[in-house]
Amino acid sequence: MQEKELLENRKRYEERKTLYKNFGYDVDKERGFVLKKARPIYGDILEAGTGKGYFALALAKEGYRFTTFDISPEEQAFAKLTLADFKLDTQVTFCVEDGEHLSFKDKSFDVVFSVNTLHHLQNPYRFLDELARVLTLDGKIVLSDFTREGMEIMDKIHALEHKTHETGSVTMKEAGEYLKHKGLQIQSSRDTYQEIILAFRQMI
């Protein structure tokens, strides 16, 4: 891995974080909030939807080893470079996977994270089915996405970049109700920009 490639990726990563912060969204603070609410974090860990690697980096900095997947090879490459820049990439298994058709075996993971992915999905219930399928009997799903205030910031950033922020129709509340109907117990919390649902096979 060339130093020039790492430096270019670091520049893109820092520029993106600064852009978010200029609009009031502190990436590090929000990922810390998710980690705090997710504890205890244990066993085999899966991150569903790597994106640019913001949450993967936060998780790796805490010392965890885990598997992360994304449907986009380009996003995975960006995230892998970011973690490599911090010398944390060896803690992570990167996979390219379709979240609606995961290759992992049933009951493979104790903690499953999905951060700011739900609103991107065309078939979110199929995605939630898969997260529940790979969850162990004493595991938990940590589902987090933007609040209305957070989504407004993302819309502004996309508009600034002359892009449209495509979002699906399923809300976090509806996702929580769906998981509840699948037999999981639900706990909810939020701050200004992130909403979190913890879905347990059984209460810990």
Q: What are the structural domains, with CATH classification, of the chain?
A: 3-200 (3.40.50.150)
**Whose CA is closest to 40, among 70, 64, 58?**
64
Compute CA distances 88 → 8, 9, 59, 72, 77, whole Å: 18, 15, 10, 21, 14
pLDDT at residue 114 in the model: 98
Task: Find out whether 108 and 79 touch, Cβ atoms under 8 Å.
Answer: no
CA distance 164 to 156: 9
- DSSP three-state, residue 138: strand
Is pTM beyond 0.85? Reply is yes
pLDDT at residue 88 in the model: 96
Range with the lowest mean pLDDT among 67-76, 94-103, 153-162?
A: 153-162
What's the whole-number average pLDDT of the chain?
93
